[in-house]
Amino acid sequence: MKVALIGVGQAGGKLAESLASHDLARSSVTGTLAVNTARADLQPLHIDTLLVGEAQVNGHGVGGDNELGARVMDADATEVMEALSGRVTSECDAILLVAGLGGGTGSGGAPVLARELSEVYDIPVYALGVLPGRNEGALYQKNAGRSLKTLAREADSVILVDNDAWRAAGESMDEGFAAVNDRIAQRVGLLLAAGEYEGRDVAAESVVDSSEVINTLREGSLAAIGYASAASSEDAAENLNAVTSVARNALLTGTSLPDATEASSALLVVAGDPDRISRKGVESARSWLGEETGTMQVRGGDMPLDSDRLAALVLLGGVERSPRVREFFERAGAAAEEVERADATESLVSDDLDGLL
């Protein structure tokens, strides 16, 4: 599946860079651009960059103000769309926007770009949206809640990444981010590469293609992606359990949105040496996936790889009813009230107000 990749804000730029440089994804990406209001965040990136909002924030970022992030992107939309035009080629199956939803630039800017891109291009516009971890402050939760609500409307689907998904004890914030970014690049990289396979020697009908990814994502506005791998035997007949257990682990412990097990549609990609893939295992993993997620729409296919391991990639479409999503929106709603209360208190002690006496 060929995509043009656009990172918005700091997290978006870093994730776009990880993805564009991932071995599996490289040949699926037609062009990459990182857009940000902060010059310092663009400088370390090894992908093309575009600074926006210079007139308003002079290259210093929007400081977590996502309304300003949206306004800046709106004001510079023509420039951004021009910079993107050469990257969205006729080969593209979709456009992928990547952003952290808790900050200001990505949070406010990604929904604006999703709207602009949808108006201009006929191909789907997807977003990879990073939700703040539970221990990030109220402003991040509030920003992410408002951003996600808008992005879900403007984009064709938002693949959610929870920053708590793979948190390990004792890890610093940056180590945690790096781990999330690597895992996301691997999952999304495999998903993009799976729809692009052009090798021979395997039955074409069993290989997954990009229309299956698009049809899976069409079934709802929020999505999640999971992955797991395991050692396998040379003999496919001995790999029934290996296939079913990687599929289980991909869904139950490997997803970008923990506990997202209710979905409107699912896609199971089994990656590995075709001679090692147990067909019975694939059938039973697909029916298990349907039961577990409560959907009758389970698509499937293989991704031939030269490896002695087997891997499963699970894409879930329409996860909006999942407990994790509900919990996030409750948290974001409570955070919005908290931020409003804090603002009211601040205006009470503000120097801008004259006291009565």
Per-residue exposure over 61-79, b if at least 16 CB sit within 10 Å of its own CB, e if not: bbebbbebbbbbbeebbee
Alpha-carbon 216 to chain mean position: 15
Q: What is the Cα–Cα distance from 357 to 176, expressed in whole angstroms?
A: 52
**Residue 181 known to bind ligand:** yes
Q: Does 31 bind ligand GTP (CB under 6 A)?
A: no
Helix, strand or coil for residue 323? helix
Q: Does 225 bind ligand GTP (CB under 6 A)?
A: no
Decide if 123 contacts 95 (C-beta within 8 A): yes
Q: Does 132 bind ligand GTP (CB under 6 A)?
A: yes
State the pairing for strand pair 125-131/94-100: parallel
Decide if 26 contacts 104 (C-beta within 8 A): no
Q: What is the Cα–Cα distance from 108 to 125, expressed in whole angstroms?
A: 16
> What DSSP line would sit under 152-200, residue for residue?
HHHSSEEEEEETTTT--TT--HHHHHHHHHHHHHHHHHHHHHHTT---S
Least distance (Å) from ligand GTP to the CB of residue 175? 11
Q: Does 102 bind ligand GTP (CB under 6 A)?
A: yes
When binding is defined by CB under 6 A, the residue of 31, 53, 61, 124 that contacts ligand GTP is 61
Least distance (Å) from ligand GTP to the CB of residue 10? 4
**Which residue's entry shows tokens 């009470």?**
348
When binding is defined by CB under 6 A, the residue of 37, 216, 264, 322 that contacts ligand GTP is 37
Pick the closer one to ligand GTP by CB: 151 or 180: 180
Per-residue exposure over 202-235, b if at least 16 CB sit within 10 Å of its own CB, e if not: beeeebbbbebbbebbebbbbbbbbbbbbebeee
By rule CB under 6 A, what string of x and - marks binding of each residue 315-334 to ligand GTP?
--------------------
Q: Does 14 bind ligand GTP (CB under 6 A)?
A: yes
Alpha-carbon distances, residue 250 vs 1, 15, 84, 347 (angstroms) = 21, 21, 34, 49
Q: Does 64 bind ligand GTP (CB under 6 A)?
A: yes
**Residue 10 known to bind ligand:** yes
Q: Does 281 bind ligand GTP (CB under 6 A)?
A: no
Q: Does 180 bind ligand GTP (CB under 6 A)?
A: yes
Residues in the chain: 357
**Residue 163 known to bind ligand:** yes
When binding is defined by CB under 6 A, the residue of 76, 116, 136, 154 that contacts ligand GTP is 136
When binding is defined by CB under 6 A, the residue of 97, 113, 130, 151 that contacts ligand GTP is 130
Q: Does 290 bind ligand GTP (CB under 6 A)?
A: no
**Residue 100 known to bind ligand:** no
Task: List the Cα angle 167/173/175 in 5-degree steps.
Answer: 75
Alpha-carbon distances, residue 203 vs 46, 108, 305, 342 (angstroms) = 38, 45, 14, 61
When binding is defined by CB under 6 A, the residue of 5, 62, 152, 192 that contacts ligand GTP is 62
When binding is defined by CB under 6 A, the residue of 150, 181, 186, 216 that contacts ligand GTP is 181
Pick the closer one to ligand GTP by CB: 102 or 318: 102
Q: Does 140 bind ligand GTP (CB under 6 A)?
A: yes
Pick the closer one to ligand GTP by CB: 161 or 311: 161
When binding is defined by CB under 6 A, the residue of 30, 49, 105, 265 that contacts ligand GTP is 105
Q: Does 103 bind ligand GTP (CB under 6 A)?
A: yes
Decide if 135 contacts 145 (C-beta within 8 A): no
Select from 121-129, 175-183, 263-271, 337-345 the region that touches ligand GTP (CB under 6 A): 175-183
Q: Does 72 bind ligand GTP (CB under 6 A)?
A: no
Sequence letter at residue 328: F
Q: How far apart are the first and last CA of the chain?
A: 68
Q: Residues interacting with ligand GTP, by CB under 6 A?
A: 9-12, 14, 36-38, 41, 61-64, 100, 102-107, 130, 132, 136, 140, 163, 177, 180-181
Binding residues for GTP: 10-14, 104-106, 136, 163, 181
Binding residues: 10-14, 104-106, 136, 163, 181
